[in-house]
Amino acid sequence: MRRPTERVLVNLALYDGVDDALQPDRGVWIGADGLIRAVGPVDDVLTEAGDVPVVDLDGEHVMPGLTNMHVHLSLGLPGHLADTVHRSNLAELVLLMADSARRTLHAGVTTARLVGESRYADFALRRGIEAGAVDGPRIFTAGHALCCTGGHGWEADALEADGADGFRRATREQIRAGADLIKVCISGGIAGQFEAIDTPQLHDDEMAAVIQVAHDWGRKVTAHAGPADSVRRAVELGLDCVEHGYELTDEVTRLMAARDVWYVPTIVVSRCEQFFRDSGVPGWLMERALAAGPRHWESLQHAIRNGVPIALGSDMPPHAGYDETSATVRELEFMVDAGMTVADALKAATVRPAQWLGQADTLGTVAAGRHADLLVLRDDPTRSVSALRTLHTVIKGGVVYRDDHCRLREPR
């Protein structure tokens, strides 16, 4: 089991997740408990830390670890990915997910929100990560996604239900298993062969049943959703977050902003042709995904323009290669290309997800008392989110999990 090492990082330029401007000549004191003890001007931090070992970062850039809010560690798109998942027994599935979790962490994602996994393996994996037996990000999970009979995701182990009572029971089953949130599929999507993106799949009483039970138990609800009308109905019923939103309108995004309903656009999934080819997905899926791209892009622009709170989520494996970077970083670049400021995009990957998850006092920023989840980059992220392409060091909870320059190598 890896344990945090107390140290002070000095000679660094800091993006702390709060101040949009870069803070030069900063120091960060990481405690032996994996929490940040102090942040500030180097001399002040060194004085406070005393004889704690010091690591000089040579003027490089430090920022909070990323949070990816749309992750499937047991991703089973039609094709060989689904075949691998479905052929696996439970032990094999957990190992496959553990490998994806390790790669996700190495890609700079220190927190992941899982929005639909298989056979409750995510809970076993979370326990392994928390115990230090497995390297991976902090996990907040929905357990199984919920869908109607034959609805979106049923082939990927979404839990099928029908009627308000059926969805109440399915929601309670995820909470019983330990779900931190609930994910419900309210329309068709890209990966369902016998549906269209704009196919409505839940009645109002079914959506209301999920939302009411989840809220009664202190859980938020996020919805896989494509068409604007399905989103509108769910928002009016009290939905907390929209995934994908392939066909949002100006009117619906205004409603989302007014109701403080969040949006996780996953814009990469409608423009990742090479990933689909490499994954061996059937032609109909790739054609549907790429055809959705222009309208999906408009949806994101509507949301940005109307002030919808937006959080980063890739849907693709966070670590998957994309245009010589990861899907997570490419998603951020697309968000900026669509009109989001660099400052807002960085917050969408750090402090804002922490707020949605109810973890703003522990995650998402570099501040005293927060978990020491830190990334070290060569370039300045406040100038361009593409600086994340120069990531070379990943720290989670004061433990170094990636250290390309061997400055912070951990004893085992």
Is residue 165 located within the same domain as residue 188? yes
Report angle CA 140, 142, 143 to the nearest 5 degrees.
110
Residues 12 and 145 in one domain: no
Q: What are 280-324's pLDDT values in tens digits? A: 888 998 999 999 999 999 999 999 999 999 999 999 999 999 999
For 351-388, what is each residue's pLDDT tens digit? Answer: 999 999 999 999 999 999 999 999 999 999 999 999 99
In a shared domain, residues 56 and 202: no
CATH number of the domain to which 278 belongs: 3.20.20.140
Q: What is the total residue count of the chain?
A: 412
- 86 domain-assigned: yes
Tokens of 31: 């405690």
49 and 121 assigned to the same domain: no
CA distance 279 to 285: 11
The reply to whether 410 falls in a domain is no
Are 52 and 118 in a shared domain?
Answer: no
**b/e map 319-358, b = 16+ CB within 10 Å:** bbebeebbbbbbbbbbbbebebebebbbbbbbbbbbebbe
Tell me if 106 is assigned to some domain. yes
Q: How many domains does the chain have?
A: 2
171 and 199 assigned to the same domain: yes
State whether 331 and 398 are in the same domain: no
Residues 222 and 325 in one domain: yes
- Cα-flanking dihedrals φ and ψ of residue 140, to 5°? -120, 125
Q: Are residues 108 and 56 in the same domain?
A: no
CA distances for 130 relative to 41, 134, 178, 234, angstroms: 32, 8, 14, 34
pLDDT band of residue 254 (cuts 50, 70, 90) is very high
**Do 286 and 262 contact (CB within 8 A), yes or no?**
no
